[in-house]
């Protein structure tokens, strides 16, 4: 009996596989269908440009000089953040804002990223005339091909040197200090001060000015801390942190006197 069932099953399976190909060959595709293909589709062109870099030996001395200039330009780009931080008003503004945050006894508000963003845009506001001069006298002529790279460097260096020197007119001792350490003569004008002497002198001057402003900002808030601490000691609340009580009073005072407006106004005026 089982043998007969196996024979019948094999016969039915063979009949099925014989009829399926014939059915599929004669069957028509439904409407709105797309016939398949075994061909490889042609790639479509995209909007991404093709970049081809070729490395070869220089033919003339001009190509060697251009390669060195390109290498120097890439080096300057890698140092651009340090140049922006140390050769502009960013250093003073960032330090003063951090002093304000510490004087108010604030830990997380405002975040450091917000303070750096404020410092960045205030720096752009203060340095805009200098940047505009650099663009008009250095970048634009270089892009138009009217001046060389060396001339563009000199034209871009001059406004920055003038800005740094103007910020140290009231305190030229830093320039004399670095000039003495290098064994150079006492300068009479800005042209007598090399750039590698002017930059560290400017950084030292900015640190000094920023710390002076920070000390003046700390004094009224220290007075509030002392008053609150004395009041808590007189009431016997020794275990209660004075900072927790004094911080709301400092915030109220800072808001009532329009602290952010006064601080921004004086910071910008300190560069004028």
Looking at residue 125, what is its pLDDT? 92
40 φψ region: left (φ > 0), alpha (ψ -120 to 50), beta (else): beta
Instruction: Please tell me the predicted confidence (pLDDT) of residue 17.
Output: 47
The answer as to whether 137 is a domain residue is yes
Tell me how far apart the alpha carbons of residues 161 and 133 are, in angstroms, rounded to a whole number: 12
Q: Is pLDDT of 4 > 60?
A: no
Confidence class of residue 23 from pLDDT cuts 50, 70 and 90? very low
Beta carbons of 105 and 246 less than 8 angstroms apart: yes
Residue 259 lies in a domain: yes
**Three-state secondary-structure class, residue 201:** helix
Q: How far is CA 1 from CA 4, 5, 6, 8, in A?
A: 5, 6, 9, 11
The better pLDDT of the pair 44, 137 is held by 137
Residue 7 lies in a domain: no
Whether the CB-CB separation of 99 and 217 falls below 8 Å is answered with yes
Token pair for 242 = 């004075």
Residue 113 resides in a domain: yes
How confident is the model over 28-45, as a mean pLDDT? 56
Q: Report yes or no on 63 lying in a domain.
A: no
pLDDT greater than 60 at residue 153:
yes
What is the Cα–Cα distance from 7 to 10, expressed in whole angstroms?
5
Q: What is the C-alpha separation between 2 and 85, in angstroms, rounded?
A: 92
Helix H or strand E encompassing 213 = helix 195-234
Rounded distance between C-alpha atoms, residue 147 and residue 119, angstroms? 34
Give the tens place of pLDDT for each residue, 63-80.
556 666 677 777 777 777
> Which domain, by its residues, includes 156?
76-182+196-269
pLDDT for 20 beyond 50: no
Task: Specify the pLDDT at position 121.
Answer: 92
Please provide the distance, in angstroms rounded to a whole number, between the alpha carbons at the two ends of the chain.
111
pLDDT at 85: 84
pLDDT: which is higher, 71 or 167: 167
C-alpha closest to that of 198 among 164, 151, 169, 248:
164
Average pLDDT estimate for 126-146:
85
Q: Into how many domains does the chain fold?
A: 1
Res 152 pLDDT > 50? yes
pLDDT given at position 155: 84
Q: What is the mean pLDDT of residues 23-38?
A: 53
Compute the average pLDDT of residues 114-139.
89
Share of the chain above pLDDT 90, in %: 4
Mean pLDDT of the chain: 76
Instruction: State the sign of the Cα–Cα–Cα–Cα dihedral 108, 112, 113, 118.
Output: positive
207 found inside a domain: yes
What pLDDT, on a 0 to 100 scale, did the predictor assign at position 67?
A: 66
Q: How confident is the model at residue 47 (pLDDT cuts 50, 70, 90)?
A: low
Q: What is the pLDDT of residues 227-259, one digit of tens each?
A: 888 887 777 777 777 777 778 888 888 888 888
What average pLDDT does the segment 181-195 reach?
Answer: 80
Provide the b/e sequence for 179-217 (b: ≥16 CB within 10 Å). Answer: beeeeeeebeeeeebeeebbbebbbbbbeebbeebbeeb
* CA–CA dist 165, 192 (Å, integer): 12
Query: 117 pLDDT exceeds 50?
Result: yes
CA dist 100 and 40 (Å) reads 67
Rounded alpha-carbon distances, angstroms, from residue 182 to 32, 89, 100, 208: 86, 26, 37, 22
- Give domain status of residue 123, yes or no: yes
Report the 10 Å Cβ neighbour count for 145. Answer: 7
Q: Where does residue 120 rank: exposed (0-12), middle (13-18), buried (19+ CB within 10 A)?
A: middle
Q: Which of 124-128, 131-135, 218-222, 232-236 has the lowest mean pLDDT?
A: 232-236
In a domain, 221, yes or no: yes
Selection from 202, 249, 216 nearest residue 99 by Cα: 216
Measured in whole angstroms, how far is the alpha carbon of residue 105 from the centre of its chain? 27
């Amino acid at each position: 009996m089982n043998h007969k069932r196996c024979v019948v099953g094999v016969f039915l399976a063979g009949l099925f596989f014989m009829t399926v190909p014939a059915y599929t060959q004669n069957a028509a595709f439904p409407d709105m269908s797309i016939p398949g293909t075994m061909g490889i589709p042609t790639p479509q062109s995209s909007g991404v440009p093709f970049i081809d870099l070729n490395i070869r030996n220089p033919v003339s001395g001009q190509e060697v000089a251009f390669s060195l200039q390109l290498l120097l330009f890439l080096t300057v780009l890698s140092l651009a953040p340090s140049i922006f931080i140390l050769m502009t008003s960013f250093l003073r503004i960032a330090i003063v804002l951090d002093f304000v945050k510490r004087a108010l006894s604030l830990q997380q508000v405002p975040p450091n990223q917000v303070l750096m963003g404020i410092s960045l845009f205030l720096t752009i506001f203060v340095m805009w005339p200098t940047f505009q001069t650099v663009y008009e006298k250095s970048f634009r002529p270089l892009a138009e091909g009217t001046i060389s790279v060396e001339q563009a460097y000199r034209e871009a260096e001059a406004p920055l040197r003038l800005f740094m020197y103007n910020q140290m007119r009231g305190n030229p001792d830093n320039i004399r200090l670095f000039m003495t350490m290098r064994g150079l003569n006492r300068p009479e004008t800005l042209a007598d001060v090399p750039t590698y002497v002017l930059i560290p002198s400017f950084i030292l001057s900015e640190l000094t000015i920023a710390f002076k402003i920070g000390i003046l900002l700390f004094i009224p808030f220290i007075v509030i801390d002392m008053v609150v601490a004395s009041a808590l000691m007189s009431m016997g609340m020794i275990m209660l942190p004075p900072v927790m009580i004094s911080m709301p009073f400092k915030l109220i005072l800072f808001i009532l006197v329009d602290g952010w407006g006064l601080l921004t106004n004086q910071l910008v005026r300190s560069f004028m």
